[in-house]
Structure 1
């Protein structure tokens, strides 16, 4: 599916989920975003950025991410705009920027936003940070630490885009996972169940039983946060 088709599908599904007032707001907001394309940075902030901030209130928290990603794509937000919106935004707005990165940025220019999110303990920011953009551009060392961050914070490794390919036969990742499992076991703590899945990918011929107990606990992802 092309990028245009992906965004068109996102808008179709979003509009189907919204009521009349929210759809009217979305139409106006995307029109403002389209009008901003190709224009230099404005002060005060262009109207579409204000709409970006109010998407949760207008569309409901369940649909705010989709609305914000659609606005960023419609505005053709460049790395400078994405960085500004991220740095000025709430946690929810930052998450939407992270989700939009693979749709808007081809190169590694916005990796600092991913790295910033991975330094937090906000599980929804961490989950958004390990999506397709990180899979394409994070260096091996940083990507391995991103996987460990998911295990530390209880973010399911299912959130890690392209996990099977990037973890496959990665001996260094297997070593790091074994060290982490050993530390938790020595401290009398359970090992996240997701560790076994990643370890099987990273070192498929290595016995995992010695690295972690056979009945791990299911990690908690924590409560969602929204602004």
Structure 2
């Protein structure tokens, strides 16, 4: 951990509210892992606020760190929010290990389908082998049928699954 990150973590440990000031500049001042280091020392409400008030890079850092934080299902609304965006980076991050664990079956399937629509490779979807079920297979097959009917190609990773 570099000096800036160590000092920032110490400040956040002493007062979680300093995270609101430090988190936005953390990547620039402390490097790529600085934001995750700060998130490890704040509560679920602060994580949610940092996500809500953050730009796309800050939201991505929160989503990427969720699996390493002890939040239970408290961050599920953040994952659901990310799945409503049109930012492929956020959608893919929402279906990381944390999202794969906390999303219900319906929301997970819808997220997988959104990845397909957004040309996000299915290899980036966490837990797909474990959570793949007949309903998701049916949804992907219907998508493939629609693509073929329109004279369009079907992504190879979809064809592998149906």
Mapping of residues 175-186 of structure 1, within 5 Å: 175-186=138-149
SS at match of 1:194: helix
Q: Contact (CA 8 Å) 1:78, 1:104: kept in 2 or not?
A: no
Give the deviation of 1:106 after TM superposition: 4.3
Distance in 1 separating the partners of 2:70 and 2:6: 24
Larger radius of gyration: 1
Q: Which residue of 2 aligns with 1:118?
A: 83
Q: Which runs of 5+ in 1 are unaligned?
A: 1-14, 16-22, 38-45, 200-227
Q: Which residue of 2 aligns with 1:95?
A: 60
Aligned residue pairs: how many? 162
Q: Which residue of 2 aligns with 1:196?
A: 159
Give the TM-score, by structure 2 length.
0.92
1:171 aligns with 2:101: no
Q: 2:29 aligns with which of 29, 34, 58?
A: 58
1:25 aligns with 2:25: no
Give the deviation of 1:57 after TM superposition: 2.1
Distance in 2 separating the partners of 1:187 and 1:79: 45
Give the TM-score, by structure 1 length.
0.67
Structure 1 runs of 4+ aligned residues shifted over 3 Å read: none
Q: Which runs of 5+ in 2 are unaligned?
A: none
